[in-house]
């Protein structure tokens, strides 16, 4: 795994940046909410996710081994293929510069209304670059590069998103899952990614844990890794 700088120390005058000076034209309640969120964010360090060296993975043959797992075929109840999701492959290839001011501004102001439809352009509201913005769930997915505009125009795309796993299934069991990929009993205090028997699966675990949960410096596999919806959905689709 290629690494970027793992943490950035905030400059002392970061709150003086104009993107973090929320305008008086906003309502008092909105400005107070943004300021409260920003104050909390300023107490935390920003983790910069490590990037994956796909060129090295290709030369060593690892890319070919895991590539087939980075594609998910969404089918109907009868098994007819409806939509092929390339989102995982694109997610793990995102390598963009990180700007602390933009991150602070976005996370201090973002809000999401889950009651609204996937196409509702007011579902996500946030400020970025000093400008108030809104977009739908589908627009956000294309803007960050997870899906293409052509994919989102598919008649099956809304159904695919609606059917995506968003929480841990009730019948999910950590011990059963760990036994399938490691062959032993899951003990959180001693579980390590290196215990996973398959080299391919170990690489997939690294992609998930380092890209999504940012467990950067340890091979330990905490319960949140095993039970997170993202990890479960990914391995469940393998």
pLDDT tens figures, 169-225: 778 787 888 888 888 888 878 888 788 887 778 878 777 776 655 544 444 544 444
Distance, CA of 63 to chain centre: 20
pTM as predicted: 0.67
Share of the chain above pLDDT 70, in %: 79
Spatial separation of the C-alpha atoms in residues 62 and 139, rounded to whole Å = 32
Task: Supply the DSSP symbol for 184.
Answer: S
| Tens digit of each residue's pLDDT (9 = 90 or more) over 65-99 | 888 788 888 888 888 888 888 888 888 888 788 88
Q: C-alpha distances in angstroms, 107 versus 45, 46, 59, 153?
A: 13, 12, 38, 29
User: How many of the other CB atoms lie within 10 Å of CB of 156?
Assistant: 16
When comparing pLDDT for 133 and 118, which is higher?
133
Average pLDDT of the residues in 99-113: 93
Answer for the pair 213, 225: CB distance below 8 angstroms, yes or no: yes
Specify whether the CB–CB gap between 20 and 108 falls below 8 A.
yes
Instruction: Please say whether the beta carbons of 145 and 139 come within 8 A.
Output: no
The pLDDT of residue 166: 63
pLDDT tens digits along 155-167: 888 888 777 756 6
Residue 60 in 3-state DSSP? helix
Model confidence band, residue 237 (pLDDT cutoffs 50, 70, 90)? very low
Q: What count of Cα atoms within 13 Å lies in the side-chain half-sphere of residue 217?
A: 6
- Find the helix or strand (DSSP H, E) in which 100 lies: helix 100-109
Per the CB < 8 A criterion, the answer to whether 15 and 225 are in contact is: no
Distances (CA, A) of 140 to 96, 113, 118: 16, 14, 10
DSSP, collapsed to helix, strand or coil, labels residue 226 as helix
């Amino acid at each position: 795994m290629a690494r970027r700088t793992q943490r950035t120390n905030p400059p002392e005058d970061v709150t003086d940046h104009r993107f973090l000076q929320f305008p008086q034209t906003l309502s008092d309640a909105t400005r107070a909410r943004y300021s409260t969120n920003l104050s909390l964010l300023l107490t935390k360090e920003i983790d910069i996710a490590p990037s994956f060296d796909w060129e090295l993975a290709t030369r060593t043959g690892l890319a070919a081994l895991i590539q087939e797992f980075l594609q998910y075929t969404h089918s109907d109840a009868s098994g007819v293929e409806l939509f092929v999701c390339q989102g995982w492959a694109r997610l793990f290839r995102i390598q963009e510069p990180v700007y602390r001011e933009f991150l602070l501004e976005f996370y201090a102001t973002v809000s999401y209304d889950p009651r609204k439809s996937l196409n509702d352009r007011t579902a996500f509201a946030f400020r970025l670059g000093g400008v108030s913005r809104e977009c739908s769930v589908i627009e956000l997915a294309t803007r960050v590069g997870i899906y293409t505009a052509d994919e989102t125009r598919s008649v099956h795309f809304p159904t695919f998103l609606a059917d995506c796993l968003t929480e841990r299934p009730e019948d999910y069991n950590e011990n059963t899952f760990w036994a399938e990929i490691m062959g032993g009993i899951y003990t959180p205090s001693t579980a390590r990614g290196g215990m996973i028997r398959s080299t391919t699966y170990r690489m997939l675990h690294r992609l998930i844990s380092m890209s999504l949960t940012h467990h950067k410096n340890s091979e330990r596999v905490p319960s949140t890794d095993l039970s997170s919806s993202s990890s479960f959905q990914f391995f469940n689709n393998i």
